[in-house]
């Protein structure tokens, strides 16, 4: 029994999908601002991004200067923004909106887990799907296999790791069946990660990740991709976007962490970005009008980003209808004009999904947005 054979049937020919979830409801209008729409400044006279500060993306939108690290990826055609993206949830509740979006509708399991499970040849290796953090995200529920890790040290057995692994391998090595295969696969994964952790491997091409949990998590994902362990999906969160008051001090460091982390990730992977897609999403956007505490309240339409993996980038996709009262939804929210599954669909197809995605998003045909 060859332990490394369980990591992936063909580890050198894998595409990897990385899902970054911005928990807390990231303010789309502060990240990619409609600086040529006067309604934006009427609604946000104190917290709006000025035209002179914004980095021009097209004839309507400008990028927040705190996210300047992403601009080269945009101009190179590797990155796209999708404005007004979101789900059908109208509760404006963090829990309910995240739950619906991660499940892919009112259904059991997660959309990413179903995608991995219902592929023609689903990978079952313990490193085929990972989540960086303390718990498995709902989007990965139902995956054939998934591993949660905070760091590579989670896979260490201590000073006598080699002896322990070899002993257990001997115990299971001659056994047959699912339990033996799972045990050997787990041990192989531990050996591989131990090797990666102990190697003197630095990010490629001088890439410098931000020194925070998000940057370190992205660096670990990149190391696994570069090591060709057969990683097909990875989830990582960047939380704390609930900016009800003093929005600048809340959002600015997170926008820097996001943009600098993604820029370093793309530089680190280099040519491997051709087979690596990164999707950035949040449960909802924020209210258009600033509040009295110089923040924004829960809204509807948000922002999604797609980086790499064959994305024909360099554009902001938006069904922009303005910011007049007639256009805004409910208490003054940007409407959802693009369902998040429509952004995910071409990405999933590039990663091996078929034309019919009803098994991944079973309730999508009943969804009405806008």
Of the pLDDT bands very low, low, confident and very high (cuts 50, 70, 90), residue 97 is: very high
Residue-wise pLDDT for 49-85, tens only, equals: 999 999 999 999 999 999 999 999 999 999 999 999 9
Residues 6+ apart with CB under 8 A from 29: 40, 44, 285, 286, 288, 296, 334
Looking at residue 179, its pLDDT comes to: 55
Its pTM surpasses 0.75? yes
DSSP readout, 334-358?
----EEHHHHHHHHHHHTT--S--T
Looking at residue 267, its pLDDT comes to: 98
156, pLDDT greater than 80: no
Of the pLDDT bands very low, low, confident and very high (cuts 50, 70, 90), residue 119 is: confident
- Bridge partners of 287? 333
154, pLDDT greater than 90: no
> Which range, of 170-174, 214-218, 235-239, 275-279, averages the lowest pLDDT?
170-174
2, pLDDT greater than 50: no
Looking at residue 4, its pLDDT comes to: 30
10, pLDDT greater than 50: no
Interstrand relation of 79-86 and 302-308 (parallel, antiparallel or unpaired): antiparallel
Structural contact between residues 272 and 34, judged by C-beta atoms closer than 8 angstroms: no
CA distance 129 to 334: 34
Q: What does the mean pLDDT of the chain come to?
A: 89
Instruction: Please give the average per-residue pLDDT across 227-248, as a whole number.
Output: 97
Structural contact between residues 110 and 360, judged by C-beta atoms closer than 8 angstroms: no
Instruction: Please give the average per-residue pLDDT across 15-20, as a whole number.
Output: 98
Integer CA distances (angstroms), 71 to 59, 74, 82, 347, in order: 15, 5, 15, 21
Of the pLDDT bands very low, low, confident and very high (cuts 50, 70, 90), residue 17 is: very high
Residue-wise pLDDT for 181-230, tens only, equals: 666 666 676 677 777 777 767 899 999 999 999 999 999 999 999 999 99
**Structural domains present in the chain:** 3-155+207-366 (3.40.720)
CA distance 314 to 318: 13
Per cent of the chain over pLDDT 70 is 85
Instruction: Please give the average per-residue pLDDT across 144-149, as a whole number.
Output: 94
Phi-psi bin for 93: left (phi > 0), alpha (psi -120 to 50), beta? beta
Integer CA distances (angstroms), 249 to 46, 64, 327, in order: 14, 14, 30
112, pLDDT greater than 90: yes
């Amino acid at each position: 029994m060859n332990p490394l054979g369980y990591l992936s049937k063909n580890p050198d020919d894998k595409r990897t999908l990385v899902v970054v979830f911005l928990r807390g409801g990231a303010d789309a209008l502060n990240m990619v601002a409609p600086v040529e729409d006067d309604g934006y400044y009427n609604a946000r006279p104190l917290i709006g991004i000025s035209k002179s500060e914004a980095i021009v993306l097209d004839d309507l939108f400008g990028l927040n200067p705190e996210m300047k690290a992403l601009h080269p990826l945009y101009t190179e055609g590797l990155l796209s923004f999708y404005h007004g993206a979101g789900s059908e949830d109208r509760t404006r509740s963090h829990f309910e909106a995240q739950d619906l979006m991660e499940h892919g509708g009112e259904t059991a399991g997660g959309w990413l887990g179903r995608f991995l499970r219902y592929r023609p040849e689903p990978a079952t290796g313990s490193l085929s799907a990972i989540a960086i953090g303390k718990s498995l995200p709902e989007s990965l529920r139902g995956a054939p296999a998934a591993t949660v890790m905070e760091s590579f040290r989670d896979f260490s057995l201590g000073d006598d790791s080699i002896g322990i692994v070899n002993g257990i391998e001997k115990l299971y090595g001659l056994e047959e069946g699912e339990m033996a295969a799972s045990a050997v696969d787990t041990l192989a994964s531990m050996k591989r990660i131990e090797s990666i952790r102990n190697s003197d491997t630095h990010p490629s091409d001088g890439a410098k990740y931000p020194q925070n949990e998000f940057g370190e998590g992205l660096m670990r994902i990149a190391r696994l991709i570069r090591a060709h362990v057969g990683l097909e999906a990875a989830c990582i969160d960047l939380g704390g976007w609930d900016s009800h008051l003093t929005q600048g001090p809340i959002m600015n460091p997170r926008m820097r962490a996001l943009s600098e982390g993604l820029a370093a990730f793309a530089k680190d992977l280099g040519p491997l970005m051709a087979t690596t897609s990164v999707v950035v999403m949040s449960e909802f956007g924020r209210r258009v009008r600033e509040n009295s505490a110089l923040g924004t309240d829960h809204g509807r339409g948000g922002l999604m980003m797609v980086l790499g993996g064959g994305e024909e980038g360099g554009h902001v996709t938006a069904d922009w209808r303005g910011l007049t009262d007639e256009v805004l939804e409910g208490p003054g929210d940007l409407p959802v004009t693009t369902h998040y599954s429509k952004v995910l669909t071409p990405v999933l197809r590039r990663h091996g999904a078929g034309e019919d995605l009803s098994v991944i998003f079973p309730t999508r045909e009943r969804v009405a947005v806008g």
